Structure 1
Amino acid sequence: MSWLGLKKAINRAGTQVMLKAGQIEQTVDKEFEFEEKRFRVMESNSIALQKKLRSYLESLKMLTKSQLNVAELLNSFYGQESQTPHQFENRINGEEMELFENLSGDYFHSLKQLNSQVISDLEHPYNQTVLNPIARFNSYYVEVNEAIKKRHRKLLDYDAMRNKLKKLMDTPQTEYTNYDVKFREASDELVETETRYVEINQKLKDELPKLVNMRIAFFDPSFESFVKIQLRFFNENYQQLHQLQSRLDAKTKQDYAEGKLDEKIDDVLSKMRALDITGKDNHIG
């Protein structure tokens, strides 16, 4: 920082202290404060949205990975015979498909496809149409915030100069040598600082509402894409799992519909308890 820059920073810090102490009259622009508040709300929401959208993609990856982990363990639980597929012809479209003798193997195979293909197919369009646009939009906040900081600095200069001229006017002329010269210099400097402040203040009052109002038109395509990608992801999951459901035998479907599956499970648990190895009186010496 140059000596002039350091001097300005020190003067502005002193002005800020006097403003907080009420020793200097502060310039207030209600219109700017309103527009800045709207901007801050949008800034906070869009930055949070960017984080949530990024974590949403990661959550889809975690979901498919968790499904795959469960399917892999189920496949191992049911036995190795489920891991050998054989080919059959799909009667609907004539395409050759893999069919596993054990449903758990088919389930594992389907989720491997979901994990490897569906997510990879969705990740690129999700980045291009959802994450990248909001990242670009949020990148403009850096420039806007710099402009707001600059306005604050110009406002401090303006308030400090107004206070300096007011003190000069309130002090008897006899206490100053060359009073007229000092008054003219202070007046000219006030006009200069006021011009710089008014210029950036008006620019922000004009541009901030435009930026805030642009958010709808900017985010609409990304929102539409987000919904379509969700639909595609869950539809792919549904289609894969629906094919597995069609392989469940009719009796199992009927028992499920009639609520009899719990009875079957209770029956199996009763048989397990009847085994010597699980009996209550069985003790290991």
Structure 2
Amino acid sequence: MSKAAVKISGDLLSNPLCVQDQAFLEMDSFNQEKVNQISKTVIDPLKKYSSVFPSLNIAVKRREQALQDYKWLQSKVKKYEEKEKTGPTMVKLHQAREELRPVREDFEAKNKQLLDEMPKFYHSRIDYFQPSFESLIRAQVVYFTEMHNIFSELTDQIDQAGLSDEQRERKNEAKLSELRALSFVADD
């Protein structure tokens, strides 16, 4: 919306009738300032906050890989436990349990870390964005107050001594009729 307002004020400023008017210049500077404020207070913090997500996704993927490894070794241990208790099977069972121990510890550590950090990260979003939104609201209040003042001044300049809307509309239609009557204007 702010970028559209900047475009409109830029288009108005490119019109020779408006270039000289100080109110239009003020409107353009207020529009530019609002766009800058939104960028500083909302967009930049959002970008910074979203930059955390790739590292969280990597941590979740590492946990999932550790879980897959853990499940695979767990099924290997279970398979040896179900086999006949012979010497070679017992050796393989012992080896599988030894392989399982560090993998289980790795998975549990990664899982615990995510279980601790994810809720903290989730709850921190409110504290992180609240100042941004407060700043945005304050900037909008200032911006719209100034725009109201500028448009009021422009309306007073444009408004002709107490004409009603109907009178203004008839006057505009008369001027349009004069323009249509010109020889170089094509008919629709």
Is the contact between residue 34 and residue 143 of structure 2 (CA under 8 Å) also seen in structure 1? yes
Q: Is residue 153 of structure 2 the alignment partner of residue 264 of structure 1?
A: no
Q: For residue 56 of structure 2, give the secondary structure of its aligned residue in structure 1.
A: helix
Aligned counterpart, 1:160? 72
Aligned residue pairs total 186
Are 1:246 and 2:156 an aligned pair? yes
When normalised by structure 1's length, the TM-score is 0.56
In structure 2, distance between residues paired with 1:221 and 1:237: 24
What is the rounded CA distance, in whole Å, between the counterparts of 1:192 and 1:121 in structure 2?
A: 57
Deviations 1:231-265 (A, max 9, x none): 222222222222122223553x4322xx3322223
Distance 1:272 1:192, change over 3 A: closer
* Residue among 28, 51, 64 paired with 1:139: 51
So what's the TM-score if we normalise by structure 2?
0.81
1:165/1:186 contact within 8 Å kept:
yes
| Greater per-residue helix proportion | 2
Q: Distance in 2 between matches of 1:249 and 1:136?
A: 48
List aligned pairs for 1:135-284, cutoff 5 A.
Answer: 135-174=47-86, 178-251=88-161, 253-256=162-165, 259-272=166-179, 275=181, 277=183
Distance 1:215 1:121 in 2: 26
- SS of the residue 1:145 aligns to: helix
SS at match of 1:153: helix
| Aligned with residue 7 of structure 2, among 49, 65, 68 | 65
Q: Structure with the greater relative contact order (CA < 8 A, sep ≥ 6): 1 or 2?
A: 2
Quick one: percent identity of the two aligned structures?
A: 24
Kindly report which structure 2 residues correspond to 1:54-133, keeping only aligned pairs within 5 A, or say none.
59-73=1-15, 75=17, 104=18, 107=21, 109-115=22-28, 117-133=29-45
Structure 1 residue 184: Cα displacement:
1.2
Cα offset, 1:270, TM superposition? 4.3
CA–CA distance in structure 1, aligned partners of residues 19 and 106 of structure 2: 73
- Aligned residue for 1:178, secondary structure, equals helix
Q: Please, which runs of 5 or more residues in structure 1 have no aligned partner? A: 1-58, 76-103, 281-285
Q: Which runs of 5+ in 2 are unaligned?
A: none
One-letter amino acid matched to 2:11: N
**For the Cα contact (< 8 Å) 1:68–1:112, is it kept in 2?**
no
The CA RMSD measured in Å over matched residues stands at 2.8
